[in-house]
Structure 1
C-alpha cells in the first residue's frame, strides 16, 4: 500500500493539555501500529537511563536520577519507529520503481520499515537491487578515488546529527584524510546561529544551563521553541519550576499547548483527576521575526526601570558590578536601546509597550533567570543577531555564570551538538587540525569547507560531484527543493547510510547506493563483544548508550564499520590509523577522541556511564570569557528587522512560518495527526489569522495555493492547502515542514551562519482556482 493517508480529515479545536491521556493514547497507537506493543514497552524502560540507551529523538538532558519512565511521547515514537517489525526488503524494491516511489509521501516511504540489505540503483530497470557489501564498498571506493584525483573538494560528507561521538569522529577524520572540510550537518539548518552568536558573546559555542539550574531558577524566558512537540521531557522540569513558584514568560507566534498546560502522564493523581499545571505565566504572541524588536523592547524597559530606581534612591535593577567586571560594550548597547522608538518596537514585534514593560518588570525582580530558545530565533536573516540580543538581556542582570541562570538553546537531533564537539564542522578554525596532523601524520586541509547552503549552491553550479550521507534526509530538509532535486541528479555518486527509506534515496546520482545501518537501540556486536557508544546532550554532558534489541537482520552493519570500510576502500593505508582495531573495540576510538581533545574528554571511557553524564568544560559557566575582549560582549544589532531582505509587506503578503506537527520529528513523519493544533488526517493545511482570511477574500476550509514573493523570478508554489483559522498574529501564516520547503529560497538565510530563514518567508495566498 503506497500510503495510509485517510480521507477522514477533521479540523477541530483541541482543549486538552500537553501530556495526559492524549499522550498515553498516542503511545499505545504507535507501538501497536509498528508491531512492538510488548517489546517496545520493555525497551522504553531502558530509555535515557544511565546504563541504558540514549533516546534517538531530541537531545534534551539526561538526569542523574531518572524518572521510572524517562521518555516522552515523541521519544517513544522514535523508539517504535526504529524498532518497527516492518521491513523494506529486496522484494519490496523489486515490486516498485523509483519513479513510482517518488510519488509516495514521506510517511509512506518510511513506514515500509527498516532497510535490510545494501542496495544499488539500476537505471535500466529504475529499481534498487541488492548488492553484496564487498561489491558495494569496492565500487564506492573506486568512485571516490577517481573524484579525489580530479578534485577532493567535489565530494560532500554530510552527517545528520544522530550518529554517536565515535562514528562522528571517524567520519570527520575520513573527510579530512580525503582532502576537504566539506562536513555540513543538520546544525547548519537549525542552530548554526547559536554556534556563531554564543562564541562572539560569551566565548562558548553551546548553552550554559544544567538540569539542576531548573531547580533554583525563579524566571524562565521562552523564545520560539515548542516544548510540547519538540522536547516534551523538558516539561517535567518546567512543571516542577512552576510548582515552586517560578515564572515562565513565553514569546511565540502560535499559542502552543505545551507552553500553556501540562498533565504529567506519570502522575496517577493528575491522570485520574485530569488536572494540569499552567506553564506560562505570561504568553506574548510575537510576530514572525519580531523577536529582535521584542528583546530590544525588554532591554529598553529594563534600562528605564533602572533609571527610575536610581532617581528614587532605590537599589538599581541592573547588575552594575557584573557589567563592570565581566562585560564589554555596555555603553554602546545602551545608546542603541535609547535610540529605539516605542512605536517601531510595537509595530515590528506585534506586542504593546505595556506587555513588554510587564515582562521586564517581572525580570527586574527575578534573582536567577534562564533564557530558552529554539529555531523561532535562529531561522531568520538576522538569526545570529537575535540570539546575541537574548544574551544581552541576560547580561544586563548578570544571568550568565551563576546557579539557576544561563542561556539554553534547545537542540533537535540527539547528538548534533556532540558531533560538532568531535570535529564535524566545515570551519577549519574549529577543528584541532594541528593535533590531527601530529596524531595521524598527514596534512589536514586548511580551506573552509561547504556548509548546507553552500553544498546546495555547489549542486546547482556543478561543483559538487558526490554526496555521502551519514543518516538523515538531506534533500527533503533543505530549502528550494523544486530547484535542488534536478541538480541532485547531476551528481556522479550518491551514497546514503540509513535505517529507513526516504526521499533522498530516490533522487539519484549516476551511481547510487543505500547502505543499511544499525540503529542506536540495537546491540552492536563486534570482535571484542557488544559495544557502547557516547553522545552529548543539549546541556553539554556526555552519556554512554548501550543497545538492547537484536539487529534487524544479518546484512545490516554498524555505522563505525561502514565508515571504516569506506575509508579503507578509498584512502591509502595510514600506519597511524588501524580502522579494523577501532571497529573491533570502540573504546579505542574514544581513546583517540581523548587524545585529540584531552581537555574535554578526560577519562571518557571511565566516566561515560556515570549518572548525569560527563560534564563538558565550559568557561562561561564559571564567568571565564574566551572571547577577543576577554569579557562577555554586548552586541549592537543593525536594526530591528530580523528579515530585512523580504519585500515590502503589502497587505496581501504574509510571512510564512514552517513548523513541525505533534506527530513528527524533523523530516520523519509518524502520522497525519497534529493533536495539539486540532488537525487530524492531513498535513496539507495553512494556519491563518481570521482577519487575514477575511481580508484576502478566503474562508476557513477553502483550498488555496501559496507562492513565494521574491524578486528572483523563480516560481515557487504549493497548492492543495486547506485554510485553517488559527490563533496566529495577523500578517503571519504557518504550515508544515518539510512539505513547504519548496517555498524557501536558498538565498534567504542568516547572514552570518547561512542557516535557512524558514521562520519568515514572504508569500501570497490565493484560492486554488485563482492561482497566486
Structure 2
C-alpha cells in the first residue's frame, strides 16, 4: 500500500528534500547523549543518576510523561530524557557575579540557548530598576517583599502559572495557596498543548485523560497513531511499540511529516540489533495527512467501517460494529451515521489530502483487528477544531467497542512529566474540577467561586492591563505563548513577576516593576528538609503514580525545593491559621501526601506506601471501566460540523504552518542545534516546504523569506529571516520551529472549547 497520499513525479531539476536515512534510536541516540554530556560537563555522578532514572526507588525523569515500568530495562531512559537530566546537572553556574556584569536589557537580546548555557541559578535575586540588573537577595527578604506586593494587589488580578515539572506535593500546595489567597487563576502548561484532551475527552467519554494503561500496549492488534513525533518527544514509547509490531500489531500513522520514529527503529539496548541486526519497520501504513485533515481522514475510516458492517450483514456474515456495546454504552450514533452518509468521498479527500483507496485500506486494518488503540499527540489537539478531531477519534473507537477493554482505548501522549498529575491534584482554573468542599472541611476557609484564567485568558488580561501580578512555577511562558510582539510589550507592565526556576530564560528578562528570581532544586537533587531527605511524586500519561527520590548534591547551598518556596510565599502572604501548617508540611512531605489522600481518598488512599511499589499505583479511570461521567451518562458519538480542524480554509497563496520541536529540544529548552532525525543541522530559522511548492511559488533552496500571518485580522504578524529548505510535506503545508514561529499565531486563534493555541495549522503567506 502506498504510504503517501498521491504519487509525486520525479523532477530532476527540483531540490532533494532534506531527511534522515537512518533509523530512530541506534548509535545516533548514544552520540546525541554524549554530545550534550560533554558540553554540560555534568560530572561522573551523572552515570549513577541515569542508572537510577525511572526505576523503582529512583528518581523520575523530568522529560516526558511516559510510564515507569515495574520491570525496567537496564537503562530506563531515552535520548531526550538523558539530555534533560544532564542539562539539569550541568557544572556551569549562573551566579550573582554574572548578573553584576550584565543588564537585563542586554540579556533580553540573547537567545534562550545562550541564556540557559550560563548554568544553574545559585541565589535568590531581585530586580533593581535603577541599574537594570538582578541583584542578590535573601530568602527572607524575597518572601516578605513578594508577600507585601501580593497583599497590595487584588488577588483576582494575579495569575499563578505552573509548568509540568513540579511534583504532586508542590502542585497541591500551590493550588491551595492560590485559593487561600483568593483566586482560581491557575493555568498550566496543559493549556498550551493537551487541554483540548482534558475538555474534548471529558465531553465524550467523561474522562479528561486517556483510558489505556501500559499493559494495553502489549495486547492490542492495531494502533491508529495521529499527530505525534514519538522519536523526538517520547522515545521510550518506541520499545513497547517495537514489541507490538514484532508480535504482529499493525500501526497506521497519520501525520503531515514522515517522522523517523514511526518509520523504523533500532533499539539501543539490543546489542544484536545495534551491530548486525536490521532496523524494525514501525508502521504498516503511513499517511501524510494535510494539517487539520484528521477529521476528514477519520470520517473516511468510519465510513469504511460502517460500509463493511452493512456488507457483512447483507451477506449473512458477522457484524463489524459492536451493536451490544453501542446499545448499552453509547448515544448519538444515528445522527453520526447520517453525517457519514451525507459526506462524499470527494469532500473527505479534499479535507484530508488523502486518497479514498488508502483510507479504505486503513479502514480494513481497523476492521480486521480485534483490539485497537488510538494514540495521538498535539498534531490532533492544537487546532481551532481540535476538540472535534478528538471526538472523531473516539467515534472510530466506539464503533467496535474499543474503549473500556484490555488492549483497546484512547491514549494521548503528554509532554511534561507531571502535567497530568498537577491537574489531578487541583491545578485548574475550573471550579467544578477543584476539590472545593474538601478545602472547606480540611482547611476551614471558603475558596473563591469564580472560574479563573486559562493561559489565553491570562494573556488577554495582560493585554487589557487587568492582570497585575504573575508567579511562574517553572517554565518560560512568555516565549512559549502566541502573539509574541503584543504579549512581550505588555509583560513588563505588571506590578509583580516572580519566577521559580533552575536556569535563566527569556521570560526572566522581561521583569515587572517588582521582579524576583527564586532558584529551586531539580528532581535529581536531594531534597533535604527539617525532617530529613524528602521524596516527591508524579503521575504519568497512563494515570499511574510514582515516588521519586533525588540523590545528587544540590547545585548551590542557597537553593530551595519548589515546595519550600511555595510554602515560604504562602506563610509570608497569608494570615496565621491553626490548620495552615506551612512549616510542618515543608519539614515532612508525607504530611502533604496525607492531605492529598484525604482530599482524593478513592484515588490516593495509602499513596505514601503505594507510590513506591514497582510500576507505581493506578489511580483509576472511570471510562477505563466503562463508567461514563458525561452529561448523558453514556459515551457520546459526536457529529463534526467541519472536515478540517484548521480555523480558516485554503486560499490562493495561503499555506498552513505546522510548528515543530527539534531533536535537540524539550519545549522551550534548546539543548543544541541538531535536528538529527529530520536531517537538519545548524540554524533554527528555517522554513520547510516541499520541492513542488517551492517550484509553484518560484522559491529557491537557501532563499531567505518572511512569513506573515494570514488569519484574517488587521494585525501584521511576521517572522523574517527564514531560509527556504526543501522537505517532504503535503501540498499547502509549511513547517518550522516552535517557539521561533510563535509570533505568527494570533492569541485568539485557538481551539473553540479549550482555548489551546492552534499551532499545528497556522494560516500564513510567504513574502520574498
TM-score normalised to the size of structure 1?
A: 0.97
Aligned equivalents of 1:274, 1:106: Cα separation in 2 = 40
User: Which stretch shows the higher mean deviation, 95-104 or 353-362?
Assistant: 95-104
Q: Is the 8 A contact 2:291 2:646 kept in 1?
A: no
Name the SS of the counterpart of 1:94 in structure 2. Answer: helix
Q: Is the 8 A contact 2:226 2:255 kept in 1?
A: yes
Match of 1:144 in 2: 150
Q: Does 1:343 align with 2:349?
A: no
Give how far 1:634 is off. 0.7
Q: Is the 8 A contact 2:18 2:726 kept in 1?
A: no
Aligned equivalents of 2:109, 2:670: Cα separation in 1 = 16
Match of 1:240 in 2: 243
Give how far 1:274 is off. 5.4
Give how far 1:50 is off. 0.9
Aligned equivalents of 1:710, 1:748: Cα separation in 2 = 8
Match of 1:384 in 2: 387
Mapping 1:559-708, distance limit 5 Å: 559-644=562-647, 646=648, 648-708=649-709
Give how far 1:651 is off. 2.5
**2:556 aligned to which of 553, 558, 563:** 553
Match of 1:59 in 2: 65
Give how far 1:326 is off. 1.0
Give how far 1:36 is off. 2.2
Mapping 1:167-206, distance limit 5 Å: 167-206=170-209
Match of 2:11 in 1: none
Aligned equivalents of 1:298, 1:437: Cα separation in 2 = 49
Q: Does 1:160 align with 2:166?
A: no
Match of 2:55 in 1: 49
Give how far 1:650 is off. 2.2
Q: Is the 8 A contact 1:664 1:671 kept in 2?
A: yes
Q: Does 1:92 align with 2:93?
A: no
Q: Does 1:721 align with 2:741?
A: no
Aligned equivalents of 2:17, 2:30: Cα separation in 1 = 21
Question: 1:11–1:112: structure 2 CA closer, same or farther, 3 Å change rule?
Answer: farther
Match of 2:530 in 1: 527
Match of 1:508 in 2: 511
Name the SS of the counterpart of 2:729 in structure 1. Answer: coil
Give how far 1:12 is off. 5.1
Mapping 1:481-496, distance limit 5 Å: 481-496=484-499
Q: Is the 8 A contact 1:28 1:37 kept in 2?
A: no
Q: Does 1:372 align with 2:383?
A: no
Q: Does 1:740 align with 2:752?
A: no
Give how far 1:628 is off. 2.1
User: Which stretch shows the higher mean deviation, 452-461 or 93-102?
Assistant: 93-102
Number of matched pairs:
753
CA RMSD of aligned residues (A): 1.1
Question: 1:37–1:247: structure 2 CA closer, same or farther, 3 Å change rule?
Answer: farther
Match of 1:766 in 2: 767
After superposition, the C-alpha distances for 1:388-416 in whole angstroms (9 at most, x for unaligned) are: 11011000010001111110000110000
Aligned equivalents of 1:439, 1:86: Cα separation in 2 = 43
Q: Is the 8 A contact 1:20 1:274 kept in 2?
A: no
Aligned equivalents of 2:17, 2:519: Cα separation in 1 = 38
Match of 1:6 in 2: none
Aligned equivalents of 1:626, 1:460: Cα separation in 2 = 37
Question: 1:534–1:305: structure 2 CA closer, same or farther, 3 Å change rule?
Answer: same
Aligned equivalents of 2:508, 2:103: Cα separation in 1 = 12
Give how far 1:11 is off. 9.3
Give how far 1:333 is off. 1.1
Mapping 1:421-500, distance limit 5 Å: 421-500=424-503
After superposition, the C-alpha distances for 1:421-441 in whole angstroms (9 at most, x for unaligned) are: 000000000011011111111
Q: Does 1:326 align with 2:329?
A: yes
After superposition, the C-alpha distances for 1:313-367 in whole angstroms (9 at most, x for unaligned) are: 1111111111111111111111111111110110110000001000000100100
After superposition, the C-alpha distances for 1:740-764 in whole angstroms (9 at most, x for unaligned) are: 1001000000010000000011111
Match of 1:135 in 2: 141
Q: Is the 8 A contact 1:703 1:720 kept in 2?
A: yes
Give how far 1:200 is off. 1.4
Name the SS of the counterpart of 1:467 in structure 2. Answer: strand
Give how far 1:275 is off. 2.1
Name the SS of the counterpart of 2:319 in structure 1. Answer: coil
Mapping 1:194-273, distance limit 5 Å: 194-273=197-276
Match of 1:73 in 2: 79
Match of 1:3 in 2: none
Name the SS of the counterpart of 2:127 in structure 1. Answer: strand
Name the SS of the counterpart of 1:258 in structure 2. Answer: helix
Aligned equivalents of 1:659, 1:90: Cα separation in 2 = 35
Give how far 1:127 is off. 1.1
Unaligned 5+ segments in structure 1 are 1-9, 768-772
Aligned equivalents of 2:400, 2:663: Cα separation in 1 = 36
Runs of 4+ in 1 over 3 A off after TM superposition: 10-13
Match of 2:296 in 1: 293
Match of 2:124 in 1: 118
Q: Is the 8 A contact 1:221 1:369 kept in 2?
A: yes
Aligned equivalents of 2:247, 2:567: Cα separation in 1 = 51
Aligned equivalents of 1:619, 1:347: Cα separation in 2 = 37
**1:542 aligned to which of 545, 560, 565:** 545
Unaligned 5+ segments in structure 2 are 1-15
Give how far 1:240 is off. 0.2
Match of 1:5 in 2: none
Q: Is the 8 A contact 1:107 1:670 kept in 2?
A: yes
Aligned equivalents of 2:652, 2:118: Cα separation in 1 = 44
Aligned equivalents of 1:681, 1:389: Cα separation in 2 = 39
Give how far 1:37 is off. 5.2
Aligned equivalents of 1:414, 1:527: Cα separation in 2 = 27
Q: Is the 8 A contact 1:11 1:679 kept in 2?
A: no
User: Which stretch shows the higher mean deviation, 185-194 or 699-708?
Assistant: 699-708
After superposition, the C-alpha distances for 1:155-214 in whole angstroms (9 at most, x for unaligned) are: 000000111000000000000001110000000000011101111111111111111111
Aligned equivalents of 1:37, 1:656: Cα separation in 2 = 41
Aligned equivalents of 1:190, 1:642: Cα separation in 2 = 15
Name the SS of the counterpart of 1:184 in structure 2. Answer: coil
